[in-house]
Amino acid sequence: AQSVTQLGSHVSVSEGALVLLRCNYSSSVPPYLFWYVQYPNQGLQLLLKYTSAATLVKGINGFEAEFKKSETSFHLTKPSAHMSDAAEYFCAVSGGSQGNLIFGKGTKLSVKP
């Protein structure tokens, strides 16, 4: 069975600083991995996805994530945080035959001016 662990329920960074949100997964098969962002009272927006192609995946808004099989990790990074990046971020792994997602508990990112 697949599972996702997001380390740190709340991460706070200063504007312009590096953003690092951690995600570790467990999967018995080669996984599809995703990062989604959720702004207050909104649905989820896909940031990026890993589907067994390049291990370094670039997404929208300057985010990227690197798939490391040896570490079973898929951490999300952004070189320079912007105030508009403040949101909840969810890592997910695709499980099941119908493509249903298994989500981590989420990490709330705060950006200080």
Partner 1 sequence: GAVVSQHPSWVICKSGTSVKIECRSLDFQATTMFWYRQFPKQSLMLMATSNEGSKATYEQGVEKDKFLINHASLTLSTLTVTSAHPEDSSFYICSAIPLAETYIVQYFGPGTRLTVT
Q: Which residues bind partner 1 (CB under 8 A)?
A: 32, 34, 36, 41-46, 49, 51, 90, 94, 97-101, 103-106
Nearest CB to partner 1, comparing residues 73 and 94: 94
Residue of 109, 112, 113 lying closest to 8 (CA atoms): 109
Residue 20 CA from chain centroid, whole number: 9
Nearest CB to partner 1, comparing residues 80 and 100: 100
Count CA within 13 A, CB hemisphere, residue 58. Answer: 3
Nearest CB to partner 1, comparing residues 14 and 61: 61
Q: How far is the CB of 18 from partner 1 (least distance, A)?
A: 25
Nearest CB to partner 1, comparing residues 40 and 113: 40
Q: How far is the CB of 30 from partner 1 (least distance, A)?
A: 13
CA–CA gap between residue 8 and residue 21 (Å, rounded)? 8
Q: How far is the CB of 11 from partner 1 (least distance, A)?
A: 15
What is the DSSP secondary structure assignment for residue 100, as one 8-state letter?
Answer: -
- Other beta carbons less than 10 A from residue 18's beta carbon: 11
Q: How far is the CB of 98 from partner 1 (least distance, A)?
A: 5
CB 101 within 8 Å of CB 49: no
